[in-house]
Structure 1
Amino acid sequence: MPAPVHSSWLASKWRYRMVFGCISTAFLLAILKSGSLQLNHGEALKGLAEKQYKRTFQVAAARGMVYDREGRTLAGTVPMDSVYVEPRHIVEKEETAIKLSEALSIPTTKLEKRVAGSRSFAWIQRRIPPATSETVRQLDLRGVGLLKEHQRFYPNHSVAGQLLGTVSIDGEGQSGIERAYDSALKPKAQRTSVLRDAKGNRLMTDTGLELSAFRGNDVHLTIDAQMQQVAELALVETVRKFKAKSAWAIAMDPNTGEILVMANAPTFNPNTPGTARRHSRNQALSAAFEPGSTMKTITFAAALEAGVVHPEESIDCENGKYKLGRHTIRDSHKSNWLTVRDVFKHSSNIGTLKIALAMGEQRFKDTLKQLHFGERLGLGLAGEARGRLPRKDKWGQTRLSTISFGHGLMVTSVQMLAAVGTVANDGVWVQPHVIQRVTDAFGEEIPQRDRKPAHRVFKTETAKTLAQIMQTVVEPGGTGTPAAIPGIAVAGKTGTAEKVDPVTGRYSKDLHLSSFIGFAPADAPEAVVLVVVDEPQEKKFGGLVAGPAFRKITEAILRARGIFAAPSEKEIAASKEKQKKNKAKSKMMAAANTVPPLAVEEGAMPDLRGMTLKEALVFLKRVGVVPQIEGQGLVQEQMPKAGAPIVNPRAIELKLAKEQ
């Protein structure tokens, strides 16, 4: 008997319900699980998902620029691509290494190590040339990408190289201005995310950031690049000529304290620092040394200020030999009685120490303190030396005497420049500085730390009197005549200091530090300049060794400020001789151009025999002929002969010979 219809329908209905219930239950469980994951592990799962298609990059803007006082670029940046890999996204590691090796000229074995493993990031090569970058881009390798970085560039090569310094591969300042102002020059780094495809390549390269707003600040120096180059060339020539170990120079405007030149030789190119790292030290800033006789400028200034001497007062210089305790002090030039003015002019150690002893220890020490010897002057640059003065218990008559002529203390170039600059500035000390200003990406000036206040050390009368005495050094009979500038009054002082032998620990008769310091024009100074030459050979005196470089540097600075040297007698004589020759030449040319025409038939060859070449050319020019010439002197032969028709204008020949 067949089952009732309603029983079959009921069974089917229950099956539908069971299936629906199972599906509903599964769906409900999925919803509950999803909710649980979202609530409890949402952020972690979101991060895992984003890793598949996103990558966060640090986007670096350009490092700030460095300019000279006239706005010329001393240090800048250029954008360049760098190659990186993401090993965990590279499938064909061996093939990738081979292709990159061919494009980048890197050994395959080295690249295989870089692409191995499952690291998320590794550099392959930083800052590659544009052509190489394009080659890598066209390879379109999975897990290989290019990032834009910035390469530091110094367009003037070695000009101010030691002062500017260098940066590391990661753009960190390592020395010089780059290190001292790294926090100002360094760009403000920003992080941004970009989308990637299945190969790991970036799909969106526009970060949406205005990078110019995040670039580093610009540093403007007081240095003049053109004067700096003149100084470096002069120092290189000095080192070469005297076979010196090194040389340096520093120049300053005594009225403002702005440093115009800070040069070294041998020079240093920060574009290729590895080739000459040993020359990267800025000795104009970091060297501490015994100044020798240039220190007499300070001794005389202090004595004149104290009123213990007068320029025309006479001093017994003991015929060049003087016993001081157990030491014997000697002069290079033996003299008996000299005026104070001549003691300075002839650089007498004996006369100078007697002036110092008459002044007394305390007055001299007070002057050194007012001029900031023995302390850093706060240029804000890494490596600035402090110098060294004797301890209080080390002073006495002997130490006072030796310091008066530049031995027994250590000074820096900047200290000496500021001290002599005080004399040039009518007795007012001004702090030297090399930073003019710092500006942000929008040109707004950023406040810097305050400088030491200017203060008076000497009376104006004292400074002017000493400036007059200093002028005698470059006059005939003085020790610094090679530093003289014709037509411009120069006030200066030579220095020749014996160096301590590193082996014996005693002063050496063979190792010297030769220097010249001075300012010009003496009556209205625009520049104070110091030149130091380390261990010159054959010649040692500061006037002979450092004086010529001082003159070249000072002339360049004055010329840039519209002050020109008068020509020397030799130059005047040469100019007159040149004018005389030019005048005679003009007369000859005028005579040649006024030669009367020859009576010849039209189209016929004139008779040119006996004429000078210029006269002959004048006639031939009238008939439209340019001849072929052989020999020198007067026309002896011609082709064609006089009166013959000129058939071929290119076949005219003139043979010249000197009269016997």
Structure 2
Amino acid sequence: MIKRIKLRTLFIGGCITLFFLVLVGRVFYIQVLQGDFWQQEAAKTWAHTTIIKALRGEITDRNGNVLASDVPAFTVVVEPDVIHERGLRDEVIQGLHEILNKPVSELEELIDAKDKDGNLYKNREVRNEGWKVDQEVADKIAEFAKKLEEKHDIREIGIGTVKDQKRYYPKNSLAAHILGYTNREGNAVAGLEYFYDKQLRGMDGKLNYQSDGKGVKLPDAEESYKPVVNGDNLKLTIDSTIQYYIEDAMKEAYAEYQPKSMTVIAADPNTMEILGMANLPTFNPNEYWNTQDQADFYNHAIKSIYEPGSTFKIVTLAGTVQEKLFDPNAKFQSGYIMIGRRRLNDMHGGWGRITYLDGVKHSSNVGFVKLGYEMLGKDKLVKYADDFGFGQKTGIDLPGEAKGLVKPYYEVDFATLAYGHGKVQVTPIQQLAAVSAVANGGKLMKPYVVKEIDDPNTGKMTVTKPEMVRQVISADTAKKTGSYLEQVVADQKIGTGKRAYIDGYRVAGKTGTAIKVGIDGKYDPTKNLVSFIGYAPVNDPKIAVIVIMDEPKGDVGGGTAAAPVFKKIVSQSLEYMGVPKVYADGGKNGKKSGDDAVSARTAPNMVGQTMKSAKEQLLDQGFDFESVGGGPTVASQYPSAGTALASGQKVYLLSEQGDKPTIPDLRGESLRDALEVLSLLKVGIQVSGEGYVTEQKESVNNGKKQVALTLKPNKQDGQDTETASGKTTDPNIKSASPSKPAG
């Protein structure tokens, strides 16, 4: 009996000892070997992290107009388990289909989906139609949910929205290729959004804290806070009004000529600030997913390379002027020239024996071969091409810029290089930088799009300063070259750029019509790339523009198709900038359609006279006039004394103005005249539309008077040789043929 008790005691003791050994081993395993794992699991119950989303930087134009910003957005969510439990499946599917336009079959799949254990999901986002929708859609979802709650007398129906933020482009497709876009996940994809992504995106903030089992924050627990860093704001060199002028003119020409693509860039030639840049076809960054053709996203302005054709002759011309080889009065035989066994031709068989200046106006290939290949020489010709920036990137602050090439090898390659064909390929931005060097006194400038970078967190502002790459030609050479290029436009008889002529503004420019290489590697006369490049005013350049059309339909060249687009953009932009028109011959109107200048009366000098005396004098001489303000004497006038007056043009007499200047009735006036008068009154100006003033509204902004002008075209306008579409109304003007490689 005693022995049995001892054995039982020993057995029980052994079991207890074994239990404690197992328990200790288990504790050791959990606390030591798996300590880190269980520490993390425990932390999940009391440690929490809240992400504070950073705002992506705002992008504005040079005048502060918003082009891209973050705005509130909402994501539609559903709770499949609740929807099925409430018996609302069919009603929810139909309602969401009507609001979001999402296919019923996809909604059924979303709401009926189950997890791997066969249970309905608790929460799902409605993508993509319900992802990051605007306030209007969110309100419709809330209204729909409320109706279901009232109809079935229940509180939770399993649909709602979660607040988020998204990128929004308020002007839709305006400047789309400059801005680029971010995708629905918020990742930068193209344009400035991509190039400046690091500065724009900022850094999310973070708050770490501890809570009890019910999620209530512990009062004495440790917490850490990482402040949010919002993205930098970008102010661009782009002027949204000029950008609008560009895109409006492009759409008109694109509809008429139906090219494969079209590109326009405008810049301040003195600084190479990009004022506008656009391509067609284009896209809407707010709905980038609706763009089917990926080519629509392509920024030809900086990425496409092509044989430039006759616009490249500017380089040859500038080089020969710089080397003092260009004699405008010397003559050569046009028509054709032999380079070894190769014959290089002029358009239309040439024009006989002509001067080199006429060769520039006619855009003679033979003349430029003689200038660039024979006079300037191969080495210097290539050197000037390099110095003007061809074959190298400009360094513009946009992604994907191509560098092109200048690689002549055979003798004929050097000869054709002189007029922009053969072993030379350039980008539009390179060409605009080159012609701007002629406009600004010989300085090759680095183009840029971002004018200022503002850090909203610190208030620090970084301003981009104009950067000169090199002095390519002397200021005197640039001036002379510009005067020859002005003749290409001003000569209304033989100038290939005559359709770019703008009455009252001196324009310099060059046409280009380049034959493209076909699929067989040979030039195909049916496929052309036509262009026009120039700047204005010649005496004080404010804007330089390049216009390019790839394979326009019809028998057109750079002078017939591209030059009118240039004209429309530049004339509107200069008037918008407030650049006054100046007429030649001291009080005569500029020439129109090749006719002789028409005499015009000039404005008399009324400044300093009493208002009464000035009125009597103008009335006696038959001038139409209007006095502005109640002062006794004339402080200023528009147009200024000596300015040629158009038929019926009004003279404005302005007396001293106080803080609240009197605004005259400007209805019926041209934009130019209205801007000049308002500028003298020192008031803020806003303009919409084009043509003549039909409506004006006054307001006060920050204590300063503002005037908003609405303009509409005058149906009686348009007595020039060209209509708005670029078609000639003069039967004596023939279309330039693109059948030969000249412009």
TMscore range, shorter length: 0.7 to 0.9
Q: Which residue among 517, 523, 536 is the counterpart of 2:539? A: 523
Q: Aligned ranges for residues 396-475 of structure 1 at < 5 Å?
A: 396-408=410-422, 409-442=424-457, 444-445=459-460, 447=462, 453-475=468-490
C-alpha deviations, 1:510-554, integer Å up to 9, x for none? Answer: 111111111111111111111111111223221111111101111
Equivalent pair of 1:257/1:430 in contact (CA under 8 Å): yes
Worse-superposed segment, 263-272 or 142-151: 142-151
Secondary structure at the counterpart of residue 248 of structure 1: strand
Query: Partners in 2 of 1:385 and 1:489 — Cα distance?
Result: 33
Amino acid at match of 2:110: K
Match of 2:315 in 1: 298
Query: Partners in 1 of 2:184 and 2:284 — Cα distance?
Result: 16
Q: By how many angstroms is 1:192 displaced? A: 4.3
Q: Aligned ranges for residues 492-531 of structure 1 at < 5 Å?
A: 492-502=509-519, 504-531=520-547
Aligned residues: 539
Match of 1:72 in 2: 65
Query: Partners in 2 of 1:141 and 1:116 — Cα distance?
Result: 26
Worse-superposed segment, 104-113 or 242-251: 104-113
Secondary structure at the counterpart of residue 496 of structure 1: strand
Match of 1:484 in 2: 501
Aligned pair in 2 of structure 1 residues 411, 443: CA closer, same or farther (>3 Å)? Answer: farther
Q: Could you state the TM-score of these two structures normalised by the residue count of structure 2? A: 0.65
Equivalent pair of 2:443/2:473 in contact (CA under 8 Å): yes
Q: By how many angstroms is 1:496 displaced? A: 0.6
Amino acid at match of 2:71: V
Equivalent pair of 1:104/1:132 in contact (CA under 8 Å): no
Match of 2:371 in 1: 355
Aligned pair in 2 of structure 1 residues 213, 396: CA closer, same or farther (>3 Å)? Answer: same
C-alpha deviations, 1:269-289, integer Å up to 9, x for none? Answer: 111223334322111121111
Q: Which residue among 50, 54, 59 is the counterpart of 1:61? A: 54
Q: By how many angstroms is 1:227 displaced? A: 0.3
Q: Which residue among 158, 169, 181 is the counterpart of 1:154? A: 169
Q: Which residue among 265, 276, 279 is the counterpart of 1:261? A: 276
Equivalent pair of 1:428/1:457 in contact (CA under 8 Å): yes
Quick check: 1:539 aligned with 2:529?
no
Secondary structure at the counterpart of residue 375 of structure 1: coil
Aligned pair in 2 of structure 1 residues 140, 181: CA closer, same or farther (>3 Å)? Answer: farther
C-alpha deviations, 1:288-338, integer Å up to 9, x for none? Answer: 111110111100101111222222222222xx1222223221111422222
Equivalent pair of 2:58/2:66 in contact (CA under 8 Å): yes
Equivalent pair of 2:433/2:446 in contact (CA under 8 Å): yes
Q: Which residue among 124, 132, 156 is the counterpart of 1:127? A: 132
Equivalent pair of 2:208/2:224 in contact (CA under 8 Å): no
Quick check: 1:554 aligned with 2:585?
no
Q: Aligned ranges for residues 198-209 of structure 1 at < 5 Å?
A: none
Match of 2:184 in 1: 169
Quick check: 1:289 aligned with 2:289?
no
Amino acid at match of 2:85: E
Secondary structure at the counterpart of residue 535 of structure 2: strand
Equivalent pair of 1:471/1:490 in contact (CA under 8 Å): yes
Query: Partners in 2 of 1:257 and 1:524 — Cα distance?
Result: 15
C-alpha deviations, 1:446-482, integer Å up to 9, x for none? Answer: 6589986432110111111111101111121211111
Q: By how many angstroms is 1:401 displaced? A: 1.0
Query: Partners in 2 of 1:41 and 1:142 — Cα distance?
Result: 43
Identity of aligned residues (%): 31
Query: Partners in 1 of 2:214 and 2:360 — Cα distance?
Result: 81
Amino acid at match of 1:311: P
Quick check: 1:377 aligned with 2:385?
no
C-alpha deviations, 1:405-437, integer Å up to 9, x for none? Answer: 110110001110111111111111111111112
Structure with higher helix content: 1
Q: By how many angstroms is 1:499 displaced? A: 0.9
Match of 2:676 in 1: none
Quick check: 1:179 aligned with 2:194?
yes
Aligned pair in 2 of structure 1 residues 528, 569: CA closer, same or farther (>3 Å)? Answer: closer
Match of 1:339 in 2: 355
Amino acid at match of 2:139: A
Aligned pair in 2 of structure 1 residues 114, 511: CA closer, same or farther (>3 Å)? Answer: farther
Query: Partners in 1 of 2:548 and 2:336 — Cα distance?
Result: 27
Q: By how many angstroms is 1:55 displaced? A: 5.9
Point out 4+ residue stretches in structure 1 off by more than 6 angstroms.
32-43, 118-121, 136-140, 142-145, 193-202, 208-212, 448-451, 566-575
Secondary structure at the counterpart of residue 405 of structure 2: coil
Structure having the higher Rg: 1
Equivalent pair of 1:239/1:245 in contact (CA under 8 Å): no
Equivalent pair of 1:316/1:336 in contact (CA under 8 Å): yes
Aligned pair in 2 of structure 1 residues 210, 533: CA closer, same or farther (>3 Å)? Answer: farther
Match of 1:25 in 2: none
Unaligned runs of 5+ in 2: 1-22, 98-105, 218-222, 583-588, 601-644, 651-743
Secondary structure at the counterpart of residue 156 of structure 1: coil
Amino acid at match of 1:490: V
Q: Aligned ranges for residues 631-650 of structure 1 at < 5 Å?
A: none
Equivalent pair of 2:207/2:226 in contact (CA under 8 Å): no
Q: By how many angstroms is 1:75 displaced? A: 0.8
Amino acid at match of 2:513: T
Equivalent pair of 1:517/1:529 in contact (CA under 8 Å): yes
Secondary structure at the counterpart of residue 174 of structure 1: strand
Aligned pair in 2 of structure 1 residues 323, 435: CA closer, same or farther (>3 Å)? Answer: same
Secondary structure at the counterpart of residue 454 of structure 1: strand
Aligned pair in 2 of structure 1 residues 562, 398: CA closer, same or farther (>3 Å)? Answer: same
Worse-superposed segment, 96-105 or 376-385: 96-105
Match of 1:649 in 2: none
Worse-superposed segment, 569-578 or 425-434: 569-578
Amino acid at match of 1:555: S
RMSD: 4.0
Amino acid at match of 2:412: T
Equivalent pair of 1:212/1:441 in contact (CA under 8 Å): no
Worse-superposed segment, 75-84 or 510-519: 75-84
Match of 1:112 in 2: 112
Match of 1:602 in 2: none
Amino acid at match of 1:493: K
Query: Partners in 1 of 2:537 and 2:466 — Cα distance?
Result: 27
